[in-house]
Amino acid sequence: MPIRNQKNQPAFRTISDFKGKLTGGGARANLFEVVLNWPTLLAPASEVRNKARFMVKGANLPASNVAQIEVPFRGRVLKIAGDRTFDSWTVTVINDTDFAIRSAMENWMNGINNVADNTGLVTPSDYQTSAFVHQLDRDGSVLRSYRFHGVFPTQVAPIELSYDAQGIQEFTVEFQVQYWTAFKGDGDNAGGEDIVGAGDVA
């Protein structure tokens, strides 16, 4: 069977070529740290804030979304860029016996909207804060940091109980996000560009 001619046909690649391009052996999904901040009016004790750095066992680096606008023209559709949208952000937390982090999240939400009488804080800056995800390298240095601006929780997920359940309890917390920014870390393998908004600094 004849080989189809290609203009600028790619060169033959070897595993050594691939290895040479895999900077730092690749970023690892299990090397990260989440830093949760609480609003000043609803902040728990400092040991709870520090504990969250260890007990948040799952999170995500944010998606980057730009909506599209479709403009019809004579039976065709022209697609142009619309507004940015920002997904909610979810973390998974290990629940230890003092319920410290879950209780702090429940108290945060209760400050936003009280369980008994539907009252709560009305000024966004009183209940919104920032949070960080740091992607780490294998030497513990930071490769890249994402900062979530104006976050607040909208769901502390239930914990299912059962006589035949085994293992340590976990639960998720869903946060709403105004927007995020990203910054290059200080590690030797760190790279990428800073993604910032007007007035934002690293």
| Three-class DSSP category at 6 | coil
pLDDT, residue 1, reads 52
pLDDT, residue 26, reads 86
Percent of the chain with pLDDT over 70: 94
Residue pLDDT, tens place only, 46-72: 999 999 999 999 999 999 899 999 999
Contacts of 27 (CB under 8 A, 6+ apart): 135, 137, 143
Asked if the model's pLDDT at residue 131 lies above 60, the reply is yes
What residues form DSSP beta bridges with 129? Answer: 151
Percent of the chain with pLDDT over 90: 77
Q: How far apart are CA 202 and CA 154, in angstroms?
A: 27
Asked if the model's pLDDT at residue 176 lies above 80, the reply is yes
User: Which domains, and CATH codes, for the chain?
Assistant: 37-184 (2.30.110)
On whether the CB atoms of residues 124 and 133 are closer than 8 A, the answer is no
Mean pLDDT of 104-110: 96
CA 181 to chain centre: 11
Q: How far apart are CA 99 and CA 108, in angstroms?
A: 14
Q: How far apart are CA 201 and CA 182, in angstroms?
A: 10
Which range has the worst mean pLDDT, 40-49, 78-87, 101-110, 179-188?
40-49
Residue 177 has which token pair? 């996000």
Residue pLDDT, tens place only, 3-21: 556 677 778 888 888 888 8
144: closest CA among 51, 50, 62?
62
Asked if the model's pLDDT at residue 129 lies above 60, the reply is yes
Question: For the chain, what is the mean pLDDT?
Answer: 91
133: closest CA among 5, 19, 27?
27
Residues 16, 17, 22, 24, CA torsion sign: positive
Q: How far apart are CA 137 and CA 25, in angstroms?
A: 10
Q: How far apart are CA 156 and CA 74, in angstroms?
A: 49
Any idea what DSSP says for residue 197?
A: -
Residue 157 has which token pair? 């997920």
Provide the whole-model pTM: 0.86
Residue pLDDT, tens place only, 30-43: 999 999 999 998 98
Residue pLDDT, tens place only, 136-145: 999 999 999 9
Any idea what DSSP says for residue 164?
A: T
Q: How far apart are CA 196 and CA 142, in angstroms?
A: 18
Any idea what DSSP says for residue 41?
A: G
pLDDT confidence band for 201 (50 / 70 / 90): low
Residue pLDDT, tens place only, 62-101: 998 999 999 999 999 999 999 999 999 999 999 999 999 9
